[in-house]
Chains A and B, each alone.
Chain A
Amino acid sequence: MPKVTFRTDWCKGCGLCALVCPKQIIVIAKDKINQKGHSPAEITDQSKCIGCAFCATMCPDCIIKVEK
């Protein structure tokens, strides 16, 4: 099953990953805050992930790892 992991500490919460996700399962967690003071991106339903790596391709900070 595809697995997406975010390096949350380095996320700047720009939301570009959520913008390109074809399954719309990435959100910016407004109720959380990371070391840099940003609300990080997180995946809501891992089981719906198709492992397309669009999020990782779009991430400017290269914090997303995609495994299949």
Chain B
Amino acid sequence: MVVFEKPKSLCDVPLHYCPGCTHGIIHRLVAEAIDELGIEGRTIGVAPVGCAVMAYNYFNCDMVEAAHGRAPAVATGIKRADPENIVFSYQGDGDLASIGTAETVHAATRNENITVIFVNNAIYGMTGGQMAPTTLPGQITQTSPYGRDVKHCGYPVKISEMLSQLEGPEYIERVAVNNVKNIRAAKKAIKKAFQNQVEGKGFSLIEVISSCPTNWGLSPEKALQWLEENMIPYYPLGVYKDRTAQKEAESK
């Protein structure tokens, strides 16, 4: 009996990510959700600009490459053209929280029936480790060699907290992929985000706290430790908005 094997929605090709990069885990969780919901034939993904720019090579479904940050806008178009499609965007923090903030906020406030997977690793990975909007105060990056100075650069953008203040979105949750327990919780959240779309409930965003061993300058093991000790306290995990659960609670 097979306990674990590669999901069918993930192509049988090697990934280009650095050793120990958790993008691969998140790709797999998305593919598992697609498999389990049986939506492979009608799913369309939107790839971002960033480390996951070549995600179209890895998912076994139709994929579109969006301009930097515009994935939620492209996903909106695909979904509205044929609402039968299941549309997801897969974006990093530089893509979603910096150049694509406007698209993200407006897709959320319109409650577009799409799923957004937001990978937050607190740094610009592909371009070589520059400071991102999500970089922690004091964190050392290529462009903040003395640590992020909040007086000069401001504070990190907390996307989940921010979007949960809007009336529009259906579901916002923050998860992490630093250990097996958190990966299982992340899987559940990602599946729910796709399930919401199948049921026509609206905009779901899952923020996944992820590691970047190469640009943090740490070994894969130490990077996960750093994530647990620094990122999770700053970006607390949990469900930030669940409109269906809220309504059910109110009606009781």
Contact = CB atoms under 8 A, between A and B. Distances in A.
Interface of A: 2, 10, 12-16, 19-20, 36, 38, 51, 53-54, 56-62, 64-68
Contacts of A53: 3-4
B250 interface: no
B50 interface: no
A10 B6 CA distance: 13
Contacts of A51: 3
A56 B4 contact: yes
B28 interface: yes
Given A57-B4, A60-B20, A60-B25, 11 more contacts: A10-B14, A16-B224, A20-B179, A38-B19, A58-B25, A58-B179, A59-B24, A59-B25, A62-B10, A62-B24, A66-B5
Contacts of B221: 15-16, 19
B4 A64 contact: yes
B115 interface: no
A56 B5 CA distance: 8
B180 A14 contact: no
Nearest to A36: B14
A9 B15 CA distance: 12
B220 A54 contact: no
Contacts, number: 71
A24 B63 CA distance: 39
Contacts of A57: 4, 180, 183-184
Q: Which residue of A61, A64, A68 has the most chain B CB atoms within 10 A of its CB atom?
A: A61
28 contacts: A2-B3, A10-B14, A14-B19, A14-B20, A14-B220, A15-B20, A15-B220, A20-B179, A53-B3, A53-B4, A56-B3, A57-B4, A57-B180, A57-B184, A58-B25, A58-B179, A58-B180, A59-B25, A60-B20, A60-B22, A60-B24, A60-B25, A62-B10, A66-B2, A66-B4, A66-B5, A67-B2, A68-B1
B155 interface: no
Contacts of A14: 19-20, 213, 220
Nearest to B13: A10
Interface in B13-36: 14-15, 17-25, 28
Contacts of B15: 60-62
Which 7 residue pairs spanning A and B have beta carbons closest together? A60-B24, A14-B20, A12-B19, A14-B19, A56-B4, A53-B4, A66-B4
A54 B18 CA distance: 21
A60 B17 contact: yes
Contacts of A60: 15, 17, 20-25
B3 to A, nearest CB: 4
A51 B5 CA distance: 12
Contacts of A67: 1-3
Contacts of B220: 14-16
